A = this chain, B = another copy of it.
Amino acid sequence: MASPTAAPRAFIQQQNLVEQVADYLTQAIIQQHFLPGERLSEVQLSRDLGVSRAPVREAARLLESRGLLISKPRRGFFVRALNAVELEDVFDLRLCLERHGIERLAERYTADAQRALKQQVEVLCEAAAGNDGTRRIEEDLQFHRLMLHYAGNERLLRAFDDLSHELRLCITLITKTHEAPDTIATSHFKLLDALDSGNPAACREAIDYHIGVARDFVVKGVGETGDSDDEDVLPR
């Protein structure tokens, strides 16, 4: 249970409470103010946030659909706990989506897309040079989001957005080490080069390598925190 006095975000005042509560919960989960497997009390949350239970429930349903919470009937909502297998699955699905995305993008690579992606890599490099780990992750995700955006399939992009919430969870919760800034830079420039070449096979190879590296970083973290493949902390 969260400490009663710990109110990481200011009070909620404006409308659209559902989204605000959802954002608050998302941040709280990613920043580990709620531990994996922990049970969330609706009344407690509504008291802490100063809203009624209705928006809290709706926000929780939203987070459930995003894979951050799990609901057990008559038991309430629990923070999603990922085991090693689920972690692999998330990155495998990411690979699936991004492979398809980069190939579609290669078919319709416009100067606009090229410019936007290049600029985003610059931003990412800048972020990687700084100390804000969260921002680095966000800019990284944003680059990949841009790729899928310019791939021209809105539904594919939505699938990636859905997954990205879990991805954030994986990355933030487990990653202990940070990639070196120049590694990040070259890694992403390779993607741009592959796109420039217009060769689908090169694109696929580049994205396979890129995501493989990202996955290894996270999987390495798993080895540190747990030993069993079945360390799912979900209560029965």
A residues contacting B by CB (< 8 A) are: 15-16, 54, 57-58, 61-62, 65, 67, 73, 85-86, 89-90, 92-93, 95-97, 99-100, 104, 153-156, 158-159, 162-163, 166
Contacts and interface: CB of A to CB of B under 8 A. Distances in A.
Number of copies: 2
A155 B89 contact: yes
Contact of A155 (B54, B93, B99, B104): B93
Given A92-B155, A93-B156, 13 more contacts: A15-B73, A16-B73, A54-B57, A57-B58, A58-B61, A65-B65, A85-B154, A90-B155, A93-B153, A93-B159, A96-B99, A99-B100, A155-B166
Nearest to A158: B67
Interface residues of chain A: helix, strand, loop or mixed (majority): helix
25 contacts: A15-B73, A16-B73, A54-B54, A54-B57, A58-B58, A58-B61, A61-B62, A61-B65, A62-B65, A65-B65, A67-B158, A86-B155, A89-B155, A89-B156, A90-B155, A92-B104, A92-B153, A93-B100, A93-B153, A93-B156, A95-B100, A96-B99, A99-B100, A155-B166, A159-B159
Contacts of A85: 154
Given A16-B73, A96-B96, A159-B159, A89 B154 contact: yes
Nearest to A66: B65
Given A93-B159, A96-B96, A154 B86 contact: yes
A104 to B, nearest CB: 8
Contact of A153 (B89, B99, B162): B89
A22 to B, nearest CB: 11
A156 B92 contact: yes
A156 B85 CA distance: 12
Contacts of A16: 73
9 closest Cβ contacts across the A-B interface?
A: A65-B65, A96-B100, A89-B155, A89-B153, A93-B155, A93-B156, A61-B61, A92-B153, A89-B154
Contacts of A163: 155, 159
A89 B15 CA distance: 33
A65 B63 CA distance: 10
